[in-house]
């Protein structure tokens, strides 16, 4: 077989096939070099005393040299793609900055006060140095557990009704509307609702741990309903129809076929709902109150929680204030770790209990 070369190829010598197909391109190290130079310049400016925000802005401006270089070498189309890449990456870094800043601040300030005494002692009869968050940790676990006991059955059965029994009737539309409204209510409104409810039975000034559970349950229910509803909708109708074809009643089909299939997503949604409310302060400050002693009874008196303990320690630090402030940072770090563990549990449940093809 004979290959005929064009006059241009004969005159110019060997042809770069890659360049012929893709056009001129920047070196593979170009992006790393530009970003690295920007980071070094920003870091140098920061070490010289320049404001962190201004140093980050300088890094962004330097990174814009990459699309400018691309215009000269690769052309306008490829340069536009690189410009969008720089903008998207910068937006991601900007979104991560508050998270990293919060983690660094809380860990650096709270880690130094963590000890066995800090987790096993309460603040009863403690003035100044010493004491711990044992009473607040117990209160947080009990109140959040009570909220889960209240909200999970209500949210689960409401979602089952909406997906399996409602058939788009008027009642289901009203339920979905009210759930959406509840999703957006401020947490302090839930606290005021719980306080007003318990005032009817116990009078003014009531402070009960179970009231905090009711307030948190109001915040949890819409999250549980929505997450469970979406998981139940993902169950294929073929599974339901196969069960009905075998003569299985509807309630048993829901209990034995639908719920086990959607179990991983339901548990994940419930765990995330718990993580969402465990750090609420306003409703617990209104109805659960604050105490320096351990209280294991949700139905008897005030009960301390980690968010309220943190707020109270900063709001009224006492004399000298540094010990109280340190305990507040330690409580904040403990709460942060609990929330992270709950999210990790949700991920693990979703991974191990979901169908193999969806992992």
Angle at 66 between CA 60 and CA 72, to 5 degrees: 145
CA distance 33 to 37: 6
Which tokens is 11 given? 């005159």
- The CB density around residue 20, as the number of other CB atoms within 10 Å, is 9
B/e letters for 69-82, b = 16+ CB within 10 Å, e = fewer, are bbeeebeeebbeeb
Start-to-end Cα distance in the chain: 52
H-assigned helices in the chain: 7-12, 17-22, 30-47, 52-63, 65-73, 76-110, 116-120, 134-160, 170-183, 187-202, 209-233, 237-245, 250-253, 259-261, 263-277, 282-287, 306-315, 321-353
Q: 273 near 220, Cβ under 8 Å?
A: yes
Q: What pTM was estimated for this model as a whole?
A: 0.80
B/e letters for 53-65, b = 16+ CB within 10 Å, e = fewer, are eebbebbbebbbb
CA distance 307 to 243: 47
CA distance 284 to 278: 10
CA distance 342 to 348: 10
Give the pLDDT of the chain (359 residues) as one tens digit per residue: 444 444 444 455 565 555 555 566 778 888 888 888 888 988 888 888 888 888 888 888 888 888 888 888 878 888 888 889 889 988 898 888 888 888 888 998 888 888 888 888 888 877 778 788 999 999 999 999 999 999 999 999 999 999 988 877 888 889 889 988 888 888 899 999 999 999 988 888 888 989 999 999 999 999 999 999 999 998 898 988 999 998 889 899 999 999 988 888 898 889 889 988 998 889 999 998 888 888 898 888 889 999 999 998 888 877 778 888 989 999 999 999 998 898 888 888 877 776 665 55
Domains of the chain by range and CATH? 22-112 (no CATH), 134-358 (1.10.3720.10)
CA distance 33 to 25: 15
CA distance 258 to 252: 9
CA distance 325 to 51: 27
What average pLDDT does the structure give for the chain?
85
Going from the C-alpha of 342 to that of each of 96, 153, 352, the distances in angstroms are 21, 20, 15
Q: 132 near 121, Cβ under 8 Å?
A: yes
Beta-carbon contacts of 357 under 8 Å, excluding residues fewer than 6 positions away, are none
Sign of CA dihedral 183, 308, 327, 303: negative
CA distance 54 to 63: 14
Question: In 3D, which of 315, 16, 288 has the Cα closest to residue 138?
Answer: 288
Question: In 3D, which of 343, 346, 342, 351 has the Cα closest to residue 141?
Answer: 342
Q: What is the pLDDT of residues 21-35, one digit of tens each?
A: 556 677 888 888 888
Q: What is the pLDDT of residues 270-302, one digit of tens each?
A: 988 998 899 888 999 999 888 888 889 888 888
């Amino acid at each position: 077989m004979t290959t005929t070369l064009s006059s241009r190829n004969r005159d110019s010598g060997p042809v770069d096939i890659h360049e012929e197909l893709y056009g001129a391109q920047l070196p593979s190290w170009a992006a790393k070099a530009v970003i690295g130079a920007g980071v070094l310049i920003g870091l140098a400016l920061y070490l010289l005393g320049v404001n962190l925000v201004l140093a980050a802005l300088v890094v962004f401006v330097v990174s814009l040299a990459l699309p400018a270089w691309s215009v000269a070498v690769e052309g306008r189309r490829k340069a536009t793609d690189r410009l969008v890449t720089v903008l998207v990456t910068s937006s991601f870094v900007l979104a991560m900055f508050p998270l990293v800043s919060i983690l660094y601040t809380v860990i650096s300030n709270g880690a130094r006060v963590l000890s066995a005494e800090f987790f096993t002692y309460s603040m009863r009869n403690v003035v100044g140095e010493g004491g711990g968050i044992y009473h607040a940790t117990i209160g947080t676990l009990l109140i959040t557990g009570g909220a889960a006991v209240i909200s999970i059955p209500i949210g689960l059965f409401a979602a089952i009704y909406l997906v399996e029994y409602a058939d788009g009737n008027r009642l289901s539309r009203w339920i979905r509307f009210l759930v959406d409204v509840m999703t957006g209510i401020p947490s302090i409104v839930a606290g005021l609702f719980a306080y007003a409810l318990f005032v009817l039975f116990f009078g003014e000034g009531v402070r009960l741990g179970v009231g905090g559970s009711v307030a948190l349950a109001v915040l949890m229910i819409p999250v549980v309903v929505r997450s469970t509803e979406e998981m139940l909708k993902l169950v294929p109708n073929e599974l339901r129809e196969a069960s009905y074809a075998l003569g299985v009643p509807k309630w048993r089909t829901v209990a034995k076929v639908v719920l086990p299939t959607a179990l991983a997503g339901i548990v994940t949604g419930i765990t995330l709902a718990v993580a969402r409310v465990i750090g609420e302060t306003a409703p617990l400050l209104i109805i659960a109150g604050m105490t320096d002693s351990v209280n294991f009874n949700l139905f008897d008196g005030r009960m301390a929680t980690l968010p309220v303990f943190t707020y109270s320690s900063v709001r009224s630090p006492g004399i000298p204030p540094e010990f109280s402030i340190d305990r507040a940072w330690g409580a904040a770090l403990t709460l942060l770790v609990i929330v992270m563990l709950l999210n990790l549990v949700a991920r693990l449940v979703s991974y191990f209990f979901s169908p193999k093809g969806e992992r």
